[in-house]
Amino acid sequence: MSVKGDVTLLANGATAVAAESRKESAQENEGTKVVEREMPVNTRINAGQLLTDHFRCPDDFLDLTVSGDLSGESGYFRFGADALCYGQLSSATPSAKVTGPLHDALKNVRANGSSLHLPFDPVQIVNNLRHERYQCNHALGRTANKSSGLVRKLYYLVRPLLSVALRKHLQRLYLGDWEQIPFPNWPVDTTVESIHEQLLGLSMESRNCAKVPFIWFWPKGALSCTSVTHDVESVAGWDACADLMDLDDSFGIKSAFQVIPEERYPVPQARLDSIKDRGFELNVHDLNHDGNLMTDPDEFLRRAPEINRHGKKFGALGFRSAVLYRNIDWYGALDFSYDMSVPNVAHLDPQRGGCCTVFPFFNGNMIELPVTMAQDYSLFHILNDYSIDLWKQQIFLIRKKHGLMQMIVHPDYIIGPAERRVYVELLGYLSELREQGETWIALPAEIAAWWRLRHNLKLVNGDGSWHIQGEGREAARIAYASIVDGQLTYQIASEL
């Protein structure tokens, strides 16, 4: 099967076929290392599996059924107060606009014995959020993706001729309406988490079940997860990497460097090795960072094998596109274990949208690690903010959900003393959180490996108690979800 076939199939949602063909094409490529993939080939899941995949709870705790006819148009509706959904609905006609009164599908959920009947397909709804398909019309009150088309091409064409001040001015103008964007929620969107929690809570109520065991989200019972990443944009940034590693090391933090393989700066092997030899991570950042990787599928497919080739040469397992331009439905052509190109809420990025989750998720066989914190560039140059207040606010909101705090800080943009001071303050704050036992600071490769490992663990009942089975189970912890005062709450068991 041709690679082009992959992408067409992926865009239609048939990830299973695409994953299969991706393996074939990887094997054809003799002498290259095939990235290990442990996900089953068939990735189509049902409603109940959506929850068991996220919580890793036993299958028989959940019985979700989609009721009614879902043949109508997709649109916006609510699922309780905290979740705005986009997709098909059987209980009413969903709205074409995100603003204004929306139907609340929660009222139409019915319990039938132990089974829960839903007026929508939660797999479709969650995928529409994670894959940013909710912005496919103009209902968000603005053009969803200004970055496409002529404006972006023109901007990139004249960009080298513009002064930094003029560039910043144009970017501010371009992003000027960001505060009016009604969805996703700024500064952190946790709609996917709200849907998961709501469905688990309703299932528990319908079964009269006081608590549900599941495999805790992070290893050794860590309450949240943090990853610090650095995209190297220019020669100046590339030259600042050694110093930045010293700085990160001084806080006991290892970070990931995303390096542009072509055109921006020379990438001699010794320089790449110097990052990995120090225990930092090396990933591929786009191909040449010209802003055109995602302009159309043909261009992406032309460049993907080159990117894969650089990935092998770098010994890199992770990828990030330039400027977070993305279409993860095309990723069947990429040969990486994980991607880090999807923001949680992209109000300050040229390509708007966001995946509305603070947890990793599978995209076919690849793991998506969402970028959940504002980028340094946006903070300094769009918001003109030289404090860590926004970052602290985002950290607070993500920690409330026990999610992943992933940040991008560019070596290029923290050379100046004011910017560097802000970054040092952030490092101090993160290491404080770690000391208090509030977060696990890890490399993206470690996080992706953990997410795969956890996906393959199983919770089984034997001798009247719950046990975790599977390779690597020593790091996993059992947790219990229960409803306290109408709220879903978690409790981590102290021992395995």
Binding site for Zn ion (CB under 5 A): 231, 322
Whichever of 293 and 448 has its CB closer to Zn ion, that residue is 293
Could you give the CA distance from residue 215 to residue 457 in angstroms, rounded to a whole number? 8
E strand map for 88-221 = 110-112, 115-118, 211-215
Q: How far is the CB of 233 from Zn ion (least distance, A)?
A: 5
Closest CA to 426 of 386, 384, 391: 391
C-beta closer to Zn ion: residue 193 or 233: 233
Task: Return the number of other C-beta atoms located less than 10 Å from residue 170's C-beta.
Answer: 14
Alpha helices (H) along 278-416 = 297-314, 376-377, 389-400
Min separation Cβ 231 and Zn ion, Å? 4
Q: How far is the CB of 387 from Zn ion (least distance, A)?
A: 24
Of 192 and 282, the one with the shorter C-beta distance to Zn ion is: 282
Shortest CA distance to 278 belongs to which of 256, 251, 310?
Answer: 256
CB-based burial label for 168 (10 Å; 0-12, 13-18, 19+)? middle
In the complex, the smallest distance separating the C-beta of residue 302 from Zn ion, rounded to whole angstroms, is 20
Per-residue tokens: 226: 């943090």
318-320 and 478-484: which strand pairing? unpaired
Given the complex with Zn ion, which of 322 and 409 has the nearer CB atom?
Answer: 322
Nearer to Zn ion, 256 or 322 (CB): 322
155 burial class (0-12, 13-18, 19+ CB within 10 angstroms)?
middle
Nearer to Zn ion, 200 or 323 (CB): 323
Q: How far is CA 364 from the centre of its chain?
A: 14
Q: Which residues, 6+ apart, have CB-to-CB distance to 416 below 8 Å?
A: none
Q: Is 159 helix (H, G, I), strand (E, B) or coil?
A: helix
* Residue whose beta carbon is closest to Zn ion: 231
CB of 377 to Zn ion, least distance (A): 9
Q: Determine the Cα–Cα distance for residues 332 and 308; give it in Å rounded to an integer.
A: 12
* Helix (H), strand (E) at residue 424: helix 417-435
Task: Please identify, using beta-carbon distances, which residue of 238 and 362 lies nearer to Zn ion.
Answer: 238
What's the rounded Cα separation, in Å, for the pair 187 and 165?
26
Cβ-based nearer residue to Zn ion, 63 or 231:
231
Q: Which residues pair with 215 in a beta bridge?
A: 478
Q: How far is the CB of 351 from Zn ion (least distance, A)?
A: 13
Give min distance, CB of 322 to Zn ion, in A: 5
Q: Do 325 and 351 contact (CB within 8 A), yes or no?
A: yes
Question: In sequence order, which ranges of 12-149 are alpha helices (DSSP H)?
Answer: 15-28, 47-55, 122-130
Tell me whether residue 291 or residue 360 sits nearer to Zn ion (CB atom): 291
> Could you tell me the smallest distance in angstroms from the CB atom of residue 58 to Zn ion?
42
Would you say 322 or 449 has its CB closer to Zn ion? 322
